Chains A and B, each alone.
Chain A
Amino acid sequence: MATGAVQAAVAGSARSAPLPELAGVRWRPRASESSLRRTERLWLACTVAHTAPFLAVAALLPALKLLLIPMSLLAVAQAWIIAELYAARGAAVVRPRRLPHGRAGECEAAERTALGLLGDLLDHHSRALHARTGLVLEGGELGAWLLGESGAVLVRPGGHRVHCYCVKATEAALPAADRIAHLLLALRADETGFATVANVAFCGARWRLRRRVDRRSRLALDAVENARPLRYASGRGNN
């Protein structure tokens, strides 16, 4: 019996497979460099379509009557707010979860244990960044990833565009570090599969997202900028 089990176990070391969660989203084409570029173009077109009419109105009103300048300013503000709302939606993916009232103490020990495991999975730089920001920086083929408890931000090569993904572990009671470890392991196993399973919450300019995130997440976004030459240089052949 022992031999059979050992043989089965050894056979198991023939690794690896695509992300198992892909089975749940069969209708989605697998994310790729070109699909990300398409998403970027679509979001840009969408943002322009939503804001351009207001900007056109803003330009037209003073031409008709100078008295309408306040209305014109309101139209400009409306165009600006629409774009900001999209970015705010993106910023929400890296916002830490709020624990239910009274559960903070109870979760502390679990959080410490989970942090130990997450720390083992990270290098020194990422560990230090996580301690400061609560986010984990991970280099990939598609760009640099910032992983939070309930989402991920992909900073594309060049650092100008970001994709914000809503994605999380399905078990709600996990400590924060474990939730990040879930995303990290899935990302490392199959980066394009990870980007396929995740839902896009925002895609747009990095500066726009940077304005909407909290101070800690802003530090993490800046760390991507500083780490970029090193990170993007290390290809992982993860397709």
Chain B
Amino acid sequence: MSRLIRMDQTGHTTLAEWTAEDSDAIDAAVAAFRAELEQGYYAVVSDGDGRASHVRELPVDASLVILRRPIAGG
């Protein structure tokens, strides 16, 4: 089961869950993903081994996609 989560003031919120076989769930996840990107979130996939990647489309093969807010120099 893959998950799309958003880091927010509650710690994090699960926005969607899907499996590769469930196209309806994938559709819902893609819609949720795009809506969050439009709100200004960035999507990151943790690749393990100390690496991560930014993605602009939902990678359905990823087990966890994390939405984060932008960072900035203070």
* Chain A positions near chain B (C-beta within 8 angstroms): 1-3, 5-6, 8-13, 15-17, 19-21, 24-25, 109-117, 120-121, 138-139, 150-151, 165-171, 173-175, 177-178, 181-183, 185-186, 188-190, 194, 197-199, 234, 236, 238
* B contact residues, total (Cβ < 8 Å): 42
Per-residue CB contact flags for chain B residues 1-32 toward chain A (1 = under 8 Å, else 0) read 00001011111100000000001101101110
Determine the chain A residues whose CB is within 8 A of the CB of B56 once the complex forms: 12, 17
* Chain B positions near chain A (C-beta within 8 angstroms): 5, 7-12, 23-24, 26-27, 29-31, 42, 44-47, 49-62, 64, 66, 68-74
Interface of A is mostly: helix
Q: Is the CB of B61 within 8 A of A189?
A: no
29 A-B contacts (beta carbon < 8 Å): A1-B27, A5-B30, A6-B26, A6-B27, A6-B60, A9-B30, A10-B59, A12-B59, A13-B55, A13-B60, A13-B62, A15-B53, A15-B55, A16-B52, A20-B54, A25-B73, A114-B7, A114-B11, A115-B11, A117-B5, A171-B69, A181-B7, A181-B68, A182-B69, A185-B66, A185-B68, A188-B46, A188-B50, A188-B51
Determine the chain B residues whose CB is within 8 A of the CB of A114 once the complex forms: 7, 11-12
Number of A-B contacts (CB under 8 A): 161
**A106, closest chain B residue (CB):** B9
Partner of B50 from the list A11, A12, A24, A138 (CB cut-off 8 Å) is A138
